[in-house]
Structure formats: C-alpha cells, structure tokens
Amino acid sequence: MLACAEQKRAVEAIAELLGLSPLLVSHHLRLLRAARIVRAERQGKQVFYVAADRHISAMLGELLEHKAEPQSDPADID
C-alpha cells in the first residue's frame, strides 16, 4: 500500500520495489481496490495504482509519522 500511497505505480514497479512477484502484488492490489483503499488508472495497456483519495493518503502519512516517533516505555503509562 505504501508503495503507491503518494504516486501512481504499475504492478511491475511495485513488485520490483518490494522484491515480490507481480502476481502476488496484483492479487494484493485487487483486494485493496475492492476495499476502496487504492484506485486503478489505465493509461494505454498499463494500469497504475494510487491511494484512493486524500483521506487514505493522510491516514497513511499519519501512520508513518506515528511509527517514526520514539517509543515510550510501557511501564511509564499510568
């Protein structure tokens, strides 16, 4: 999902970026599309995938920001 969160990418580009098979990536993109998390844009014979809308992009951005925050010690929580 993160591979096409900010820019549209073809299945082959996502597969190469992640080191996965295009078939596996295509299967996962089909599921994400069915869940309306990504959308497909056809340009000629190629299909590009990108986050479905700005809400999805914003949510993913916040998720990445949260992951980058330093972790607190669970013992510090009251």
- pLDDT digits over 24-63, tens only? 999 999 999 999 999 999 999 999 999 999 898 888 888 8
pTM for this prediction: 0.75
More confident residue, 20 or 67: 20
HSE-CB of 14 using CA atoms within 13 angstroms: 23
Residue type, 9: R
d(CA 75, CA 78): 8
Instruction: List the CATH code of the domain at 2-60.
Output: 1.10.10.10
Instruction: Indicate if the pLDDT at residue 75 is higher than 80.
Output: no
Contact 40, 54 (CB under 8 A): no
pLDDT of residue 6: 77
- Contact at 8 Å (CB) between 27 and 33? no
